[in-house]
């Protein structure tokens, strides 16, 4: 049994709903879009079978592509989507390249700047030690070098010091996004070399419908800002209407959630509904309802 997705979750098990063809269509489309990174929103109402579809698709893809399955609901309690996403990458991509520990050390070091610091002080100290983050003394020296202001002088107020610290950290975060993506690309390149699989790397994100509104938003924001990297394809399954309600719960009822989401997804597609005739024929084969015509799939531009 697969540690992350049950191996018996396959399209043949749910042949009556005939969604394998749609998965093949999406795979062909996404393989052509992945060169610069791609984020696809798979939309369907809660209970419409998004999780089953993703798991079956996962098991079909994994023979040829590196793939990560991220259950957002299981990490909702962490209050830090970036940490949960990074850990999921490590857990599901590290095994084939376990001999190259430097790759994932670099990955964590570059990503540490974006992890929330609103954690207990002991944890902050541990993270700084593991990642090589600066202590306060070296940080103050960097402020002096960067801004030309000696913050160790008595004339500098504590408020000014904190402001300059925040400004320096913000600058480092902006510069660090490129470094983080480079570290992620290096992991992908090494994985492809040793696994004989093919790009792109697929990342499935599921169960956002069940998450706290602020956590669901944080997940998609992290994906777009930090993980939208060449040769990586993210498929984020949502009930888009419900997600828009979550966004409005955070930003206000007058906030245009639809436009906001369009910034994060390259494309939104809807999971096709199972055909009623097919379902009824499976239950009452003596009726022999006329089957639907073959469905044509398309991606809206």
Tens digits of residue pLDDT in 111-156: 876 776 433 333 444 344 444 444 455 556 666 666 556 655 555 6
Strand ranges (E), the chain: 38-43, 67-71, 201-206, 232-238, 267-270
**Residue 72 pLDDT grade (very low, low, confident, very high; cuts 50, 70, 90):** very high
Helix 158-195 to helix 136-147 angle (10° resolution) is 100
On the question of pLDDT at 62 being above 70, the answer is yes
Query: How many beta carbons lie within 10 A of that of residue 178, not counting itself?
Result: 10
Residue 300 CA to residue 148 CA, distance in Å, equals 52
Cβ contacts of 117 within 8 Å, gap of 6 or more: 124
On the question of pLDDT at 297 being above 90, the answer is no
Supply the DSSP string of 147-203, one letter for each residue: HS--TTSTTS-HHHHHHHHHHHHHHHHHHHHHHHHHHHHHHHHHHHHHH---SPEEE
Closest among 276, 273, 271, 204 to 239, alpha carbons compared: 271
pTM, 2 dp = 0.76
Give the CA dihedral 51, 238, 224, 196, nearest 10 degrees.
Answer: 20
For the chain, give the number of residues: 301
- Say if residues 100 and 107 touch (Cβ distance below 8 Å): no
Higher-pLDDT residue of 94, 185: 185
- How do 38-43 and 232-238 pair as beta strands? parallel
**Residue 109 pLDDT grade (very low, low, confident, very high; cuts 50, 70, 90):** confident
Domains of the chain with bracketed CATH: 11-283 (3.40.50.300)
**Residue 163 pLDDT grade (very low, low, confident, very high; cuts 50, 70, 90):** confident
238-265 residue pLDDT tens: 998 888 988 898 889 999 999 998 899 9
The 3-state DSSP class for residue 234 equals strand
Query: How many beta carbons lie within 10 A of that of residue 285, not counting itself?
Result: 9
């Amino acid at each position: 049994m697969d540690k992350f997705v049950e191996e018996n979750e396959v399209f043949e098990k749910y042949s009556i709903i005939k969604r394998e063809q749609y998965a093949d269509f999406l795979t062909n489309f996404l393989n052509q879009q992945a060169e610069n990174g791609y984020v696809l929103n798979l939309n369907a109402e809660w209970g419409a079978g998004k999780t089953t579809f993703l798991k079956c698709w996962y098991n079909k893809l994994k023979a040829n592509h590196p793939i990560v399955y991220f259950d957002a609901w299981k990490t909702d309690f962490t209050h830090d989507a970036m940490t949960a996403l990074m850990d999921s990458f490590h857990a599901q991509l590290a095994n084939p390249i376990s001999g190259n520990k430097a790759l994932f050390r670099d990955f964590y070091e570059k990503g540490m700047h974006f992890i929330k610091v609103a954690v207990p002080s002991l944890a902050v100290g541990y993270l700084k030690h593991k990642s090589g983050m600066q202590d306060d003394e070296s940080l103050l020296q960097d402020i002096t070098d960067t801004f030309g202001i000696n913050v160790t002088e008595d004339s500098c107020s504590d408020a000014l010091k904190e402001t300059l610290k925040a400004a320096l950290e913000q600058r480092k975060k902006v510069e660090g996004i490129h470094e983080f993506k480079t570290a992620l690309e290096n992991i992908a390149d090494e994985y492809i070399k040793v696994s004989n699989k093919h790009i792109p790397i697929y990342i499935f994100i599921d169960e956002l419908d069940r998450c706290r509104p602020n956590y669901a938003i944080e997940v998609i924001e992290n994906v777009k800002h930090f993980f939208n990297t060449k040769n990586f394809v993210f498929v984020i399954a949502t009930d888009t209407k419900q997600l828009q309600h979550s966004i409005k719960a955070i930003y206000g009822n007058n906030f245009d959630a639809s436009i906001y989401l369009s910034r994060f997804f390259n494309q939104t597609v809807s999971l096709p509904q199972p055909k009623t005739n097919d379902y009824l024929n499976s239950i009452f084969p003596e009726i022999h309802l006329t089957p639907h015509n073959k469905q044509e799939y398309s991606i809206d531009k």
